[in-house]
Amino acid sequence: MLPAIHTQDLDIIICSKEHASLYADFVLRNKAFHGPWDPLRPDEYYSVKYWERELSASKSMVEAGSFFRFTVFEKDKPKMIIGQCALSNIARGVMQSANMGYALDRRFTGRGYMTQTVLAVVDYAFGALNLHRIQAGYMPHNRKSGKVLKRCGFRIEGYAKNYILIDGKWEDHILTSRTNHNWTV
């Protein structure tokens, strides 16, 4: 069974390819808003067909435990995606870690939804997945993202120059992490 997380205001689930049209709508609706923080995307990225393939592949990666794309809906409103939060590059063995990335619909900022989402996904990662560490980076001028991570207990660890190709330009990132101090073998 695919994981589902419920907070006070949100339903956070793993979507299937049946949600492809909702995903295409979410990314298209937020294309301009997310543009300064995202890689350049091909036109196909905004299509239902792309998201059918992507969500099918994502389901296989969830089953393998290597990638989790959590999709955010307002509580009891399953017809419109308002955000996503992904755990990627999940490493086992001596690492027990993952990278985290997230995005929120422009119309839902300032409500604490991303903080709720990140906290819920961290709890899932440290609980159900038994991860020891989660890393997340943000661009220095994306202060809102930095504030979300700080509120969620992430600590700054460093500064990476020319780290990720964003909107066609190599961008610096502030590197953060949160560690599971209750981790056990």
Question: Is the CB of residue 139 less than 8 Å from the CB of residue 159?
Answer: no
H-helix or E-strand spanning residue 134:
strand 133-138
Q: Considering the entire predicted model, what is its pTM?
A: 0.95
Q: For the segment 102-155, what is each residue's pLDDT rounded down to a tens digit?
A: 999 999 999 999 999 999 999 999 999 999 999 999 999 999 999 999 999 999
Segment 37-83, tens digit of pLDDT: 999 999 999 999 999 999 999 988 999 999 999 999 999 999 999 99
The sign one gets for the Cα dihedral 26, 28, 34, 40 is positive
Q: How far apart are CA 72 and CA 131, in angstroms?
A: 22
Query: Which structural domains are found in the chain, ordered by start?
Result: 4-132 (3.40.630.30)
